[in-house]
Structure 1
Amino acid sequence: MSAPLSGPYAGGGHVVKIAFIGFGEVGQTFAAEFLKFRGVSVSAFDIQFAPNGGLLRDRAEALGVEAVDCPSEGAQGADVVISAVTADQCEAAAVTAADYISAGQFFFDINSASPNTKRRAAVHIEIAGGSYIEGAVMAAVTVPKLQVPILAGGDGAAILATRLNALGMNIKPVATEVGRASATKLCRSIIIKGLEALLCDCSAAARDSNVADDVYRSLSETFPSIDWPSLALSMRERVEKHGIRRAAEMREAADMLDELGYDSRLARAVADRQEIGASVKSTR
């Protein structure tokens, strides 16, 4: 990780306050890393914050994050507002933010939404005078944390990347227009989330038919570089833990396919399977 911030950023001043809308896995992971830098403060709002405590609010405060009761409160004085809600709330978060975003304030939308959803979100922020930057998080954040690859698009993407990369992020500007980063992310998601759904069904059927070893052995002959039993287990665990969020992302991918004129039924079936996988764990 970079050394704590001590000098000015290229293209502007210091980033001294970051505000999160949404404080799930991504928000918590990023916030903990940002707070390792001297002079940086973090606020967060989440609809699950209880007014007088609660698990998620307590977790935020334990990290040193200012937990606020409304997003506008957290955004006051922030250099960057990071939207990290669920995919289906992406545009709604931008609509709300348009009421309080300050002129020139960065709104970094890292939700896994379709290109058109991101474009609509951008309009809300830019009409209000903010600087909308789309972000596409290209891998799970658990291990790389701030170093997870993020593609960025928008007029100010290069400036924001310079500033946040100085705080340990790994942002790559790919376009000055909004949509390209999200399209890259969701095309990848069709494969990753689809494979998760397929492996959940394959492993369950193979186990119940008492042929799991034979199936994995056959798969290994075709794809020898993959440890299929381990992959099946890890993908099932991902679906059980994150299936609701992943289902929302896959419905955004399906919307993208519709907008491009392709059949989205398979993507929507994957979304349904992700959601079912998450509900399986909740009933155990």
Structure 2
Amino acid sequence: MNIGFIGFGEVGYEMAKGFRAQNDRNKVYVYDHLHDNPKTIERAETIGAVLFDAPEKVAQQTLSVLFTAVPASFTKEAWSSIESYINKETIYIDLTTASAEVKQQISDSMIEKNQFFVDGAIMGPLKGNQHKVPIMVSGNGAEAFIEWGRKVEMNLEFVNKTPGDATNIKFIRSIFTKGLSTLLHELMETASALDLEDTILQSITHTMDKEPFENILNRLITGNVQHSERRVKEMENVADFMLENNVEPVMTRATRDKLKAITESNIREAFMEKEPNDWKEMIHTMNQK
């Protein structure tokens, strides 16, 4: 297998290392804008990858697949640099965190050339998983890529043929994963300021462990129909309390603002003072409003 990477940072390096470990007959060709950096050179030498000083040199190789794994702000530039060398024998996969709109634009350009394009969203840690990291894929080339990926033991999940939808799923999940991580940071920062870390940890652990996650989701979301207005004031008091203890209430203020928006949507009147049956009913009603 001949595999190419435009971008040889953590994503490119870890995946390339996995491909080489899976079968040393897999040949890997890479480019990175830091191609002359000693660390980049060492990485390439360590796994036996061919390191080029220009992206088009990677694209000119006879490749089964070519991954673009650059910072999101350089996505369009990366694709433009190899546009003249795109061919029908290669499946092209974008692993960047560029927006769905950008992925759609790239896909449209590829479709005009009758080429396969894949929007790939990495959904787990690369270290340890390497090329077997869970990746959600969409686009007109997703199914062909999955078929190829089976040969090298990749962990790919088909979404649909719409480029950008895999990225949309990643972005939506990031609201939870990144939001939760910062919320927990603020929570334990406040608890630590009052030497209450262990007590708070035990209390929240008990709450989260006693029922399935979807039950918690239902209870927390539907509860805002009746109680958002009261909770606005409560979170304002919490923010003041945090400031008194020298903790900046960034996430807490955001919670207050979201609760205020829910209150001002008049969602309570929409349900005639009753709680919705489940979280879906509330969210769908909110979206319609």
- Provide TM-score, normalisation by structure 1: 0.67
Residue 89 of structure 1 pairs with residue 71 of structure 2: no
CA distance in 1, matches of 2:115, 2:56: 14
- 2:104 maps to a residue whose letter is R
Residue identity (%): 29
CA distance in 1, matches of 2:88, 2:132: 29
CA distance in 1, matches of 2:131, 2:146: 12
CA distance in 2, matches of 1:126, 1:92: 18
Shift of 1:197: 1.7
Match of 1:70 in 2: 54
Number of aligned positions between the proteins: 211
Unaligned runs of 5+ in 1: 1-15, 226-265, 270-284
Counterparts of residues 257-268 of structure 1 (less than 5 Å):
none
Paired residue secondary structure (1:19) = strand
- 1:40 maps to a residue whose letter is N
Match of 2:33 in 1: 47
Residue 59 of structure 1 pairs with residue 43 of structure 2: yes
Of the three residues 162, 172, 185, the one matched with 1:200 is: 185
Of the three residues 3, 8, 11, the one matched with 1:26 is: 11
Distance change (3 Å), C-alpha of 1:126 and 1:61:
farther
Deviations 1:156-200 (A, max 9, x none): 211121112211101122212212222222111111111122122
Cα pair 1:91 1:118 within 8 Å, conserved = no
Structure 1 segments of 4+ aligned residues over 4 angstroms from their partners = none
Match of 2:257 in 1: none
Paired residue secondary structure (1:140) = coil
Shift of 1:146: 2.4
- 1:66 maps to a residue whose letter is V
CA distance in 1, matches of 2:73, 2:176: 20
Deviates more, 1:33-42 or 1:184-193: 33-42
Match of 1:131 in 2: 116
Larger Rg: 2
Paired residue secondary structure (1:118) = helix
Distance change (3 Å), C-alpha of 1:192 and 1:41:
same
Paired residue secondary structure (2:84) = coil
Counterparts of residues 1-284 of structure 1 (less than 5 Å):
16-36=1-21, 37-50=23-36, 53-76=37-60, 77-128=62-113, 130-224=115-209
Q: Which has the higher contact order (CA 8 A, sep 6+)?
A: 1
Deviates more, 1:172-181 or 1:187-196: 172-181
Shift of 1:108: 0.5
Cα pair 1:104 1:131 within 8 Å, conserved = no
- 1:99 maps to a residue whose letter is S
Shift of 1:39: 2.8
Shift of 1:203: 2.5
- 1:170 maps to a residue whose letter is N
- Provide TM-score, normalisation by structure 2: 0.66
Relative to its length, the structure with more helix (as a share) is 2
Shift of 1:104: 4.3
Deviations 1:112-169 (A, max 9, x none): 2322121012233344554211111121222333222212112221112111221110
Unaligned runs of 5+ in 2: 211-250, 255-289
Deviations 1:52-79 (A, max 9, x none): x511221122111111101111122222
Cα pair 1:98 1:128 within 8 Å, conserved = no
Paired residue secondary structure (2:209) = coil
CA distance in 1, matches of 2:170, 2:160: 14
